[in-house]
A and B are shown apart, each in its own frame.
Chain A
Amino acid sequence: MATAGRRRPFVPDLLAGGVFVLLGLAFAIGGARYDVGSALRMGPGYVPLLLGGILTVLGLVIIAQAFLGGDQPARELADQERAPVPWWRAALLVAGVLYFGATVRGMGLAPTLFVMTFLVALAGHRSGVVRALITAAGLTVLCLVVFVYLLQLRLPLFGTWLGR
């Protein structure tokens, strides 16, 4: 591997390949634990095992490519627009969505929406706590009007955890 010493491996390719290998192996191993069957009568595990194997191989090829200079267009693109990952903004978005899923049944739509939109609004570039609170309040009302009154979704406004 003479080229590997000359150039650092291309990290995005390494990571992408790594994820493909991991997921490919997971599906292949998982598939092998179901009934695989034969080509004539394929069991539930046949296709996942086959595809998982293919994905693993593809992932390995992508990793190899990373050491051989990487996927060139992607490399150029990465050099052009390397913006940092907005870690905590992304975390707030994900937290908001997860919070919604976890509490919407128990707390009901209104309080859940308020907390969720507050968390998500905090992720904005120009929003402080006060602005996020205002946004959250406004959006909660808007969503309730649109979904509960206009679209007539049967989602309780307040859930069982609040004694309803």
Chain B
Amino acid sequence: MDLSGLALGLETALQPGNILICLLGVTLGTLVGVLPGIGPTATVALLLPITFNFDPIASLIMLAGIYYGAQYGGSTTAILLNLPGESSAAVTALDGHQMALQGRAGPALATAALGSFFAGTVATVVLALFAPPLASAALKFGPAEYFALVVLGLIASIALASGSPIKAVAMIVLGLLLGTMGQDLNTGVPRFTFGIRELYNGLDFVSLAVGMFGLAEIIRNLERRQSASLVTKKVRGLWLTRKDARAITWPVLRGTTMGSLLGVLPGAGHVLAAFTSYSLEKRLSRTPERFGRGAIQGVAAPESANNAAAQTSFIPLLTLGLPAHPVMALLVGAFIIQGITPGPNVINDEPALFWGLIASMWVGNLLLVMLNLPLIGLWVRMLTVPYEVLFPAIIAFAAIGCYSLGLNAWDVFAIAASGVLGYALIRWGCEPAPLLLGFVLGPLLEENLRRAMIISRGDPTVFVTRPISATLLLLAVAALVVSALPAVRRKREVVFTEED
């Protein structure tokens, strides 16, 4: 077991400045993530511009902190308001909100935080053990293998979309196309820039993310008045009884295992992990009828699974440069803006960054437990700030942040355009996450396609004659077929609508 890298990482992450940055990220993440209707992805997208004011390591540490804070904030809203910000928190809401209604919001929140912390700790070690060998394997990949890998990643992301697979594929392709805007890497020809100099660098990724997830989400929230039953008065007595502690031990352990394994899957690993571990606990329980009526195991298992999966989903990102879910896609964008190409080289070229990021995730988890649990009263009070004040603040922050990155007015216009497009597409049953993945991976896909074709002298069979590439493409086809099968689709609908 070689954990010397992790030691280097801890050294980096435990520098006072970096701890402070991580703390800032966790706090901001919780602050925004706790807002109803704004899930972790929207939170990270909205706060992304702020992080670029720091050096690469600090900014990525802050982003990781924001992500964890946002997840925790999301669980808080799910438990207290029954308003999950994303599908994986929907599982937590099932029993968590019931607990809150019974006056046990405190133990529910504590279970979520402690389960997440334990899962995060285990998954950090898993990540540290498996990332380096995987990265060195990926270094042997040629352009054909990379192309196949990106295709697999994109196809697998269809599992993220809860709607029709064909719409998800269309969204991916649209994302890839939007990614071709700007100067062509090989020839320098400006594509789809309409002669506007500011668009030569392509569509700004931050603007696209802020528009598609942030602005579109806010417009959706304005469709109807916010009507939520707040149970803030009942938050007292955070501590778990001895009986509670015994009840959650095994669910937390099983959830952690499940999450660590499923989190590596590209696509919706964390959603799958939360749902699977919840149904596993229900099946194993001697009192399955209590699930859905405030069973503490129903909070412990999915929260641990979710958080473990969140951690191990960094494995494909850091070793292959392949984002496993939308937040990871945002991180790829952040890496690229900092001048780092995420992939197998990061571990050797930037060891301090690689291990620092991993270690700071654990530090972030620790800070969450140490700070957010005592401060829960404060976060709950955040929920009483009227939405009429919150959303203008969020939009103002996002606009200033985007503009300050490049002092480019077109980046701000792009927020408005992608917000409108995103809102329309969401209303028509198309999820924005695959589009964003396509946008981020588009240049990588095109680059490797072109290189592979040059190496093979224009012979397209190169993708199926090389074994690794053929296997990856075969997996992609299999994923596509499976997700389109009526039986699987029906099952998936059940999974995504079970919370009703």
Contacts and interface: CB of A to CB of B under 8 A. Distances in A.
Interface of A: 12-13, 15-16, 19-20, 23-24, 27, 30-31, 34-35, 38-48, 51-52, 54-55, 58-59, 61-62, 65, 71, 73-74, 77-78, 83-86, 89-90, 93-94, 96-98, 100-102, 104-105, 109, 113, 116-117, 120-121, 123-127, 131, 135-136, 138-139, 142-143, 146-147, 151-153, 155
A16 B457 CA distance: 38
Given A16-B429, A139-B393, A147-B404, A93 B457 contact: no
Interface footprint category on B: 35 or more
Contacts of A23: 174, 177
B219 A86 contact: yes
Contact of B404 (A38, A101, A153): A153
B386 interface: yes
Given A47-B446, A135-B388, A12 B427 contact: yes
Contacts of A13: 428-429
A116 B403 CA distance: 14
Contact of A135 (B164, B392, B407, B446): B392
Contacts of B428: 12-13, 15-16, 19, 74
Interface in B445-500: 446, 449-450, 453-454, 457-458, 460, 489, 493
B56 interface: no
B164 A97 contact: no
Q: Is the interface of B mostly helix, strand, loop or mixed?
A: helix
A97 B177 contact: no
Interface in B158-178: 162-164, 166-167, 169-170, 173-174, 176-177
Given A71-B164, A86-B222, A121 B388 contact: yes
A89 B221 CA distance: 11
B187 interface: yes
B397 interface: yes
Most B C-beta atoms less than 10 A away, residue of A30, A42, A46, A86 = A42
B223 interface: yes
Contacts of B409: 101-102, 104-105
A70 B220 CA distance: 23
Nearest to B420: A94
B389 interface: yes
B233 interface: no
Contacts of B230: none
B453 A120 contact: no
Nearest to B450: A42
Query: What 9 pairs across the A-B complex have the smallest Cβ distances?
Result: A40-B458, A101-B412, A124-B388, A74-B429, A16-B428, A44-B184, A83-B223, A12-B428, A71-B164
Q: Is the interface of A mostly helix, strand, loop or mixed?
A: helix
Contacts of A16: 167, 170, 425, 428-430
Contact of B180 (A48, A59, A65, A142): A48
Nearest to A100: B399
Interface in B207-224: 215, 218-219, 222-224
Contacts of B389: 121, 135, 138-139
A76 B137 CA distance: 45
Nearest to A136: B392
A111 B407 CA distance: 17
B348 interface: no
B200 interface: no
12 contacts: A19-B424, A19-B425, A40-B454, A44-B184, A85-B223, A90-B420, A96-B395, A97-B395, A104-B409, A124-B391, A143-B393, A147-B404
